[in-house]
Structure 1
Amino acid sequence: MTTALSRRGERRISPVFLGILAVTAVTGWATWTGFAEQPGLAVFLFVTGAWVVSLCLHEYAHARTALHSGDISVGAKGYLTLNPLKYTHALLSIVLPVLFVIMGGIGLPGGAVFIERARIRGRWRHSLISAAGPLTNVLFAVVFTAPFWLGALDGVPPLFRFALAFLALLQVTAAILNFLPVPGLDGYGVIEPWLSHGIRRQVEPFAPFGLLFVFALLWLPQVNGVFFDAVDAVLCGLGISDLETYCGYDLFRFWREADTQCVVSP
């Protein structure tokens, strides 16, 4: 009985996550209705809240897949509660990704939860655990872009449409970056089980710096241009224009003077 109650507690959704979800819902409503006096602030809170929710579910997907693959320790670590404060790298998983969104409109992936890989048997399972996170971002991208590629934008307020477009951009960038085969990112985790032991030992020291390496590369104009051209091509194929993502990001930065073409009256 005690063990059953303990396991139930390990999987109970955290009040912290529910609070973030509530903020996202309220600010989403304010963005939709134009209720807020400062529409940019509503967009900022809505996008930030939705982005943090997606980050929590990204990490949860890693943990849940690991649980079903043999690592029963993830429950005791609190990873199944969706509480961002329980993640091994809360700074890398939540704080830095949010800062990257604010600084450059980039959905940069965060750190992964700590998985006890020795408990897991089979290379396919290891690869699936790593892939589960970015696949969650792909799912979010599909959801956020659905009104665009389904042609279901009738009645959707422009302000909310711009916010959805920017959220879609964040999810697409997160999915692409996560799947890069760079040490420390999920893409490398997918292929790592299939590499020789010697290669893995040589690459291991660089894993802690993979995220910073990618971020530094994205600040190079040439790399940044190629990357966002690819992102824009994906979004265009899903029915989202450059203007919509630009306006979403412009409104998100509410502390700056908004572009007149993106200012929407309630």
Structure 2
Amino acid sequence: MVTASHQRISPVFLGIVAVMAVSGWAVWTGFAELPGIAVFLFVTAAWVVSLCLHEYAHARTALHSGDISVGAKGYLTLNPLKYTHTLLSIVLPVLFVIMGGIGLPGGAVFIERGRIRGRWRHSLISAAGPLTNVLFALVCTAPFWLHALDGVPVAFRHALGFLALLQVTAAILNFLPVPGLDGYGVIEPWLSYRVRRQVEPFAPFGLIAVFALLWIPGINVAFFDAVHALLRALGVDDFTTYCGWDAYRFWRSADPVCAVQG
């Protein structure tokens, strides 16, 4: 049974949202003495919020599909410390953003699949997480594709563009049919038992393999070409996302072009 306490929003999550709101206000108003730090805090906090919502979407969909155990595990509180793989779900994705500007997905919450009946339900549980990233990307890019940028400070515009890039990369990577990622979870219920057993040993290495492949120049270029094409379709140009990432890395010397633009 899922009680009200199982679904009470965690103070940890509310604290992260508060950091996002305050740092976002600092970016918008130019209040911060070091604007790069404000951008870093805003984008990182917003990215963690999206990761929490990603995992929450998995858990909430599982709950309505028959797995009531997610409540007692704390997954419905949006507390990142309650996830099965806090390191994979939160810490590593943030490090990937810092290292390469890549919104690499983290580990999923633990779902008791034996409680769930029906292949469509299993697929929907896996798809719910990356669909949250898609929704988050649409929200971040809304001012761009709605042509509502009048009055939006340049620094905030750049931060939103970079955050949108992270959401798009996360959605694309999550939907890859690679063992260990959500995309494979979508198709897994439709595979034969023999195929699933053969693939199962590779699941722990899927995330690492994807990250390693993205360091290959040709694959990296092709991947980001696709990402930027999607962003341009949503009204976000390459310059905006680049300057957002440049501002995010406040510990480096800022690109003069972005500094002048800001």
What's the TM-score bracket when you normalise by the shorter of the two chains? over 0.9
Q: What SS does the corresponding residue of 1:45 show, helix, strand or coil?
A: helix
Please give the TM-score of this superposition, normalised by the length of structure 2.
0.99
Residue 194 of structure 1: aligned partner? 190
Q: Which residue of 1 aligns with 2:40?
A: 44
* CA distance in structure 2 between the partners assigned to 1:22 and 1:182 by the alignment: 35
1:53-202 superposed matches below 5 A: 53-202=49-198
How far apart are residue 261 of structure 1 and its match? Answer: 1.5
* Contact 1:144-1:165 within 8 A present in 2 as well: yes
Tell me the residue number matched to 2:222.
Answer: 226
Alignment correspondent of 1:248? 244
- Give, in angstroms, the shift of residue 263 of structure 1: 1.8
- In 2: Cα distance, 1:99 partner to 1:180 partner: 21
Structure 2 counterpart of 1:213: 209
Measured against aligned partners, the alpha-carbon deviations of 1:13-45 in whole angstroms (never above 9, x if no partner) come to 000000000000000000000000000000000
Question: Scaled by the length of structure 1, what TM-score is found?
Answer: 0.97
SS in 1 for 2:236: coil
Aligned length: 262
8 Å CA contact 1:158, 1:264 repeated in 2: no
From 4, 9, 23, the equivalent of 1:13 is: 9
For structure 1, the 5+ residue unaligned runs are none
1:103-134 alpha-carbon deviations (Å, 9 max, x no partner): 00000000000000000000000000000000
Q: CA RMSD in A?
A: 1.1
Q: Distance in 1 between matches of 2:168 and 2:261?
A: 29
Query: Any idea what SS the aligned residue of 1:95 has?
Result: helix
Q: Which amino acid aligns with 1:59?
A: E
Is the Cα contact below 8 Å between 1:149 and 1:238 reproduced in 2? yes
2:31 alignment partner in structure 1: 35
Moved over 4 A (4+): none
Q: Deviations over 1:89-113 (max 9, x none)?
A: 0000000000000000000000000
Which whole-Å CA distance do the structure 2 matches of 1:185 and 1:176 have between them?
11
1:211-247 deviations in Å (ceiling 9; x for gaps): 0000000000000000000001000111111110000
Identity rate of aligned residues, in percent? 81
Partner secondary structure for residue 3 of structure 2: helix
Residue identity opposite 1:98 in structure 2: V
How many angstroms does 1:264 deviate by? 5.9
Q: CA separation in 2, counterparts of 1:264 and 1:95?
A: 33
> What CA deviation, in whole Å up to 9, does each residue of 1:170-200 have, x standing for no partner?
0000000000000000000000000000000
Q: CA deviation at 1:265?
A: 8.6
**Runs of 5+ consecutive residues of structure 2 not aligned to the other structure:** none
| Equivalent-residue separation in structure 1 for 2:260 and 2:65 (angstroms) | 49
